[in-house]
A = this chain, B = another copy of it.
Amino acid sequence: MENLRQRKKQRTREALLRAALELFTTRGYERTTVDDVVAAVDVSQRTFFRYFANKEEAALAAVELAAAHFVDAVRARPPHEAPMEALRQAVVEGWDSLNDVIESVVPVELYLRMYQVIESTPVLLAAHLRRSMEIEETLARIIAEREGLDVATDPRPQLVVAVFSGVMRMTERQWSTGVDYGLDAMRSLTVSYLEQVGPALAGDWRTD
The docked-state distance in angstroms from the alpha carbon of A16 to that of B79 is 54
Shortest Cβ gap from A18 to chain B (Å)? 25
Contacting pair B129 A155 (CB below 8 A): no
Question: Which B residues are in CB contact (< 8 Å) with A160?
Answer: 200-201
A198 interfacial contact with B, CB 8 Å:
yes
Number of copies of this chain in the oligomer? 2
Q: Does A183 contact B (CB under 8 A)?
A: no
Q: Please pick, from B84, B125, B196, the residue contacting A156 in the complex, using a CB distance under 8 A.
A: B196
Asked if A158 and B170 make an inter-chain contact with CB atoms under 8 angstroms apart, the answer reads: yes
Minimum CB–CB distance from A2 to chain B (whole Å) comes to: 35
Assembled-state Cα–Cα distance A206/B82 (Å): 9
Q: CA of A204 to CA of B143 in the docked complex: distance in angstroms? A: 12
Which residue of B147, B163, B196, B204 is within 8 Å of A82 (Cβ)? B204
Decide yes or no whether A40 CB sits under 8 A from chain B. no
Per DSSP, chain A at the interface is helix
Contacts of A155 in B (CB 8 A): 170, 193, 196, 200
A residues 97-134 near B (Cβ < 8 Å) are 122, 125-127, 129-130, 133
Residues of A within 8 A of B (CB): 82-84, 122, 125-127, 129-130, 133, 147-149, 155-156, 158-160, 162-163, 165-167, 169-170, 193, 196-201, 203-206
Besides A83-B205, A162-B169, A198-B201, 20 more A-B contacts (Cβ < 8 Å) are A82-B204, A84-B203, A126-B126, A126-B130, A129-B129, A129-B130, A129-B133, A133-B169, A147-B205, A147-B206, A155-B196, A155-B200, A159-B166, A159-B170, A159-B196, A160-B200, A162-B163, A162-B170, A163-B197, A197-B201
- 16 contacts across the A-B interface (CB closer than 8 A): A82-B203, A82-B204, A84-B203, A133-B169, A155-B170, A155-B196, A156-B200, A156-B205, A158-B170, A159-B197, A162-B170, A163-B166, A163-B197, A163-B201, A198-B201, A201-B201
